[in-house]
Structure formats: C-alpha cells, structure tokens
C-alpha cells in the first residue's frame, strides 16, 4: 500500500553524523587543467563531496565529464567576480586563466578575477568558516633577481606591464588572504605554483610545453622565443595536485613554493621534445613577448620540510604521458 504520510525527518544525531563524516569541498576553476585533475583526486575519497564553480573561460565541462551526474559531484556555471552562496568546509580557489595569451586577452577582467574573485571567496570562507587555499604563482617573483626563488623573496615585478594583471593580481590576492587571516581569523593556505604541465592542457593555450608537443606531433617547427636561454622548471600535474592537497590538509599557511626544481632553458626543452617525440622537426627562433622572466626555479626546501612533499615525475617521463593525451585529441597516432 502507499502511505500518504510524509517520511519522518532524519534523526538529528544521524544527520549530524552524516555531515561530520562528509567533507564538502568547493573547487573554483575546477573545469580547468589543474582543477580537473584536483577534482579527480578529491573524488577518489568517498567522504568528499565536490562542488565546482567555473565560468568556462579557459576550462571545459569535457574535463569533468566522468563526474557529471555523480551523486557526490556538482557543477555550477559561475563567475567568481560575482558573490557565491554555498555551504562548504574547504575552498580550493583556482579560478583564473593561467596562460599568458588568455590572461592578456582581457587584462582588466584578469585583475577583477584575481582581486574581486578572491575577495568573494574569502567572504564566503568567513561566512561559513571554511579553510581556503589560493593557487598563487611563481609570477609573484616577477623577473627574479634571486635564484632559485625561496618564499622569503619579495620579487621584482613590473606594476604597469602587460603581465601585471596576472602578477600584481595574484600579489593582491595573497595580500587579501593574509589580511582576512589576521583580521578575521580565516584559515588560509597559499601555494606558489611553478610551471605545471600534463594531460588536458589546452592544445592551443600558447604555453611552451603544450606548444612544443602539439608542434612536434603535427610535424611543425618548434618555436623557441628568443633568446632561448631563459629557464623554467616544469612540474607534472599529478605531483602538483598531491602538493596542493598536502598543503590544504597540513597546518602551515604558506606561502609555499610547489614546483619541480629541475631547471631547463627553452632551447633544451625544445631539443628534448624533438628527441622524444619527433626527431624530424626543426627548431626555430621567434620573437619574444615583453617582460618575459629570464630564469625561474623553485627552492622547495620549505615544501619538503613542512609538507613532506617533493615531485616524483621527471620531465623526460612526464612528456610522453602528455604526448599520449595530445595524440589522442589531435588524432595523430604514434608511428611504429
């Protein structure tokens, strides 16, 4: 028979236990490259419920397709420059375009995303008592005069250049994080992320690793921007996600550098990609963009000590994993 009586409400004890056991986590920018890998990792834990808020500027639903419809997952089209009302325990705040061609496309919007977006997420953290992690960047060190960069270095940043919307935007975001911490007692975590690469990067996003791999697969020349002696340090995305989760779960506010200290010139990177992916392609020198940092390498002493973290995947092992993903998306199989 069918009862017309409504079911009894869950006992307060049971629902309290349910809420204690489950961790509700907001990931802003979760449809992007690093964010979607972070979501994959968080969803592995059955006690986690994950909410992604993303405006799809550089991210896509496709990166999250395996979670859409999952009972512990929710996806919201939302721009972080607008207020957001959700009830969560933790916030991973990643929303912000990371590739220079995208963050320079609408620089005023990039500053708004960093400043107003971070302010809104801090207001949210304050209202609900959540812990919040900001993905800051090695770009806060600008064109560094100290090498390698440790967290005590204040940086050498041009405040009025074409990269400033991103660099200075992230610097203000860090300031807001620490002022909400000091003024309102918010639990904060700041990661200074160094160049990260791996599957799901936008094929045409203009960053150096994705450019070189796509060029090598398509048989096009690898475009090294002059002088080619500038250096970067590249971290594989699974190592990055591991570092971010350790930082969130640990006791230290940061800022903490999260990156791979292996340092390469862009010419060395091009030669490695050529050797591993397509020995037939040419390497050509093209014009660079303004304010390009000449060197960048993280000092990860603090991450090792405080988080017990260091990257495991070497560039030579990570590049072929990314190649597999790019070949599948470009539909160019490996020749044997």
Site residues, ligand UDP (CB under 6 A)? 83-85, 100, 119-120, 123-124, 126-127, 195, 207-208, 211, 223-225, 230, 232, 266, 288, 292
- Least spacing, CB of residue 336 vs ligand NAD, in Å: 32
Query: Does 166 qualify as catalytic in the annotation?
Result: yes
- Chain-centroid distance of CA 232 in Å reads 16
Please say whether the beta carbons of 52 and 42 come within 8 A: no
Phi, psi angles (nearest 5°) of residue 281? -80, 155
Partner from ligand NAD, ligand UDP, none binding residue 223, C-beta < 5-8 Å depending on class: ligand UDP
Residue placing its CB nearer to ligand NAD in the complex, 31 or 224: 31
* Contact set with ligand NAD (CB under 6 A): 28-29, 31-35, 54-59, 79-81, 94-98, 113, 117, 135, 137, 193, 195-196
Q: Which residue is nearest to ligand UDP (CB)?
A: 123
Per 3-state DSSP, what percentage of the chain is helix, strand, and coil (rounded to 5)? 40, 20, 40
DSSP 48-95: EEEEEEE--SS--GGGGGGGTT-TTEEEEE--TTS------SEEEE--
Instruction: Give me the catalytic one of 92, 141, 166, 236.
Output: 166
Partner from ligand UDP, ligand NAD, none binding residue 225, C-beta < 5-8 Å depending on class: ligand UDP
Partner from ligand UDP, ligand NAD, none binding residue 292, C-beta < 5-8 Å depending on class: ligand UDP
Residue placing its CB nearer to ligand NAD in the complex, 22 or 106: 106
- Chain-centroid distance of CA 309 in Å reads 17
Indicate the SS3 state at residue 133: strand
- Least spacing, CB of residue 122 vs ligand NAD, in Å: 15
Residue placing its CB nearer to ligand NAD in the complex, 177 or 193: 193
Peptide bond into 61 cis (omega under 30): no
d(CA 245, CA 23): 13
What residues act catalytically?
166
């Amino acid at each position: 028979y069918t009862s017309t009586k409504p079911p009894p409400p869950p006992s307060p004890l049971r629902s309290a236990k349910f809420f204690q056991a489950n961790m509700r986590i907001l990931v802003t920018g979760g449809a992007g490259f690093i964010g979607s890998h972070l979501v994959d990792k968080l969803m592995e834990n059955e006690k986690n419920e994950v909410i992604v808020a993303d405006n799809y500027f550089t991210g896509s639903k496709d990166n999250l397709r395996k979670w859409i419809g999952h009972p512990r997952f929710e996806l919201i089209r939302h721009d972080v420059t607008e207020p957001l009302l959700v009830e969560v325990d933790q916030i991973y705040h990643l929303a912000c375009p990371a590739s220079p061609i995208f963050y320079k496309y609408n620089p005023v919007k990039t500053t708004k995303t960093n400043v107003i977006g971070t302010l809104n997420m801090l207001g949210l953290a304050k209202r609900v008592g959540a812990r919040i992690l900001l993905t800051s960047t090695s770009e806060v060190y600008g064109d560094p005069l100290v090498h390698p960069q440790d967290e005590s270095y204040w940086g050498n940043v041009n405040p009025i250049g074409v990269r400033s919307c991103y660099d200075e935007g992230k610097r203000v975001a860090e300031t807001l994080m620490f002022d909400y911490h000091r003024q309102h007692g918010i639990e904060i975590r700041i990661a200074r992320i160094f160049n990260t690469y791996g599957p799901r990067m936008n094929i045409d996003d203009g960053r150096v690793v994705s450019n070189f791999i796509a060029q090598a697969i398509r048989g096009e020349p690898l475009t090294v921007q002059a002088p080619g002696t500038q250096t970067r340090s590249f971290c594989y995305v699974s190592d990055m996600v591991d570092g971010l989760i350790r930082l969130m779960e640990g006791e230290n506010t940061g800022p903490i550098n999260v990156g791979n200290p292996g340092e390469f010139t862009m010419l060395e990177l091009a030669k490695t990609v050529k050797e591993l992916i397509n020995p037939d392609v040419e390497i050509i020198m093209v014009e660079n963009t303004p304010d390009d940092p000449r060197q960048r390498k993280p000092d990860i002493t603090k991450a090792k000590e405080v988080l017990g973290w260091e990257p495991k995947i070497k560039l030579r092992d990570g590049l072929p994993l990314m190649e597999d993903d790019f070949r599948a998306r470009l539909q160019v199989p490996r020749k044997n």
